[in-house]
Every structure is written in structure tokens, then in C-alpha cells.
């Protein structure tokens, strides 16, 4: 078994993106950040002043094209031809992404795209519902968790590196609110798949997390 699908789910700031990227690079797999797709839809809704309800977003989705491109700067997110990779990380987008990603028509379109992107395998996909909804048959499912303190510290540092300053307390509140929204929504809430391997990353380095996943993947690939 060579081209397996690896699902990496977990709450905000659990280290999914950084870890999943390293795992993909190491295995020579494609990395897909599904959160970036929900962020791009949110950015479009904000720019076009579209209401976050099913009917309004369904109409907007008809003229919304999202593409993920790989470049030497990593995965780039393209919205209707425009590279929005930086804009989708802005705090206003982060604030609005949970209500937008809870809407059925948005999830339907993006989940279909994600299934298509990962159909051939050899893929590491990170998100909230990859192991439960997008690829319930993924050969390897990882669920990353970490204390809210550890996650808030990581996020604050990450934002600070991009020149955006928030206190750890503010970020902690944002993360807690977003987790609550993402795990209590009606459609595909954030939850651990029953057959996922849970890794608590609170006291781990990114490399340590990545090695655990790479080892698990190699065992499956060899089998």
C-alpha cells in the first residue's frame, strides 16, 4: 500500500498545519490545508458583504472558485484568480470563519472539492472533519489535541511573527470560542473519529509530533 490518505484533525492551534506539512514533505505526499478553503470563502463573503446564511452563501458560492496551488512558498490559496494566502490569515477572517464554515452549502461544495483533491491518495489533509466526513476510510487518522494554554501561546507567537500583536489572554478567548463553535455546530462538528490516534502535543515539539505520524504512516505503507 503506497498511496495512503492521512487525515489530521484537531482544534485550533493544535499544530495540525505545521505537522501535516512536515509529514507530507517527508513522505513525498501532497499537503492540503482545508481550513484555508473555509477561510477563502469567508473572505469572499466579507468582501462582498454577503450574509452568513444558507441562501445568501449558496448564491455566492456559484461565483466562488477556490484553487490550492503548490509553490516554493508552500501551498497558496487562490480565490477567483487572486492569491489570498496572506489575507485569509487576518484576524477578521479568523473571527468569522466558524459561522461561515457551519453553513451546509459551503461544506457541501468544499467537502466535494476535498474528496476530489485527495481521491488518488498520497495525501495529508488537515482540518476538522477529514477523518469523520471527508475521508472516513482514510488509512491513517490523527487527532491532535493540546491544552488551551499551549495552543494560545503558539498562536500568539505565530501572529506576532506576521506583525499582528494580541495578548495570550485574547487569543485564548478566541480559540476557546472558535473550538466551541466548531464542535457544537450541526453539520460535521469537530470530533475525534473512533479509529483516530490521539496525540496530545502540549509538551511536544513539532518534530516529535511529525515523527510519530511519519512512523505510523510508514508502518501502514509497508504492510
**What is the binding site for ligand DC (CB under 6 A)?**
12, 34-35, 38-39, 97-98, 101, 127-130, 178, 182
* Nearer to ligand DC (CB atom), residue 164 or residue 218: 164
Strand order through the sheet with 82-83: 66-71, 74-79, 82-83
* Nearer to ligand DC (CB atom), residue 34 or residue 201: 34
| Shortest separation between residue 203's beta carbon and ligand DC, angstroms | 22
* Nearer to ligand DC (CB atom), residue 50 or residue 221: 50
Residue 2 DSSP code: -
User: At 197, which helix (H) or strand (E)?
Assistant: strand 197-200
| Shortest separation between residue 128's beta carbon and ligand DC, angstroms | 4
Taking each helix axis as running N to C, give the angle between helix 104-118 and helix 34-47, from 0 to 180 degrees, rounded to the nearest 10: 140
| Shortest separation between residue 201's beta carbon and ligand DC, angstroms | 15
Of 160, 114, 124, 158, the C-alpha closest to 144 is 124
* Nearer to ligand DC (CB atom), residue 159 or residue 222: 159
Say how far apart CA 124 and CA 77 lie, in whole Å. Answer: 17
Amino acid at each position: 500500500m503506497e498511496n495512503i490518505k492521512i487525515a489530521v484533525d484537531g482544534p485550533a492551534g493544535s499544530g495540525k498545519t505545521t505537522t501535516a506539512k512536515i509529514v507530507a514533505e517527508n513522505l513525498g505526499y501532497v499537503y492540503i490545508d482545508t481550513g484555508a478553503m473555509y477561510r477563502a470563502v469567508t473572505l469572499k463573503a466579507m468582501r462582498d458583504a454577503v450574509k452568513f446564511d444558507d441562501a445568501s452563501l449558496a448564491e455566492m458560492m456559484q461565483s466562488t472558485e477556490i484553487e490550492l496551488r503548490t509553490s516554493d512558498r508552500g501551498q497558496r490559496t487562490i480565490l477567483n484568480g487572486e492569491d489570498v494566502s496572506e489575507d485569509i490569515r487576518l484576524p477578521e477572517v479568523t473571527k468569522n470563519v466558524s459561522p461561515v464554515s457551519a453553513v451546509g452549502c459551503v461544506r457541501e461544495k468544499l467537502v466535494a472539492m476535498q474528496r476530489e483533491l485527495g481521491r488518488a491518495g498520497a495525501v495529508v489533509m488537515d482540518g476538522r472533519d477529514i477523518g469523520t466526513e471527508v475521508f472516513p476510510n482514510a488509512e491513517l487518522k490523527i487527532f491532535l489535541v493540546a491544552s488551551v494554554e499551549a495552543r494560545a501561546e503558539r498562536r500568539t507567537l505565530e501572529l506576532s511573527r506576521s506583525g499582528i500583536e494580541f495578548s495570550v489572554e485574547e487569543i485564548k478567548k478566541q480559540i476557546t470560542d472558535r473550538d466551541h463553535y466548531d464542535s457544537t455546530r450541526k453539520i460535521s462538528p469537530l470530533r475525534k473519529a473512533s479509529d483516530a490516534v490521539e496525540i496530545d502535543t502540549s509538551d511536544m515539539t513539532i518534530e516529535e509530533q511529525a515523527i510519530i505520524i511519519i512512523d505510523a504512516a510508514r508502518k501502514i505503507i509497508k504492510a
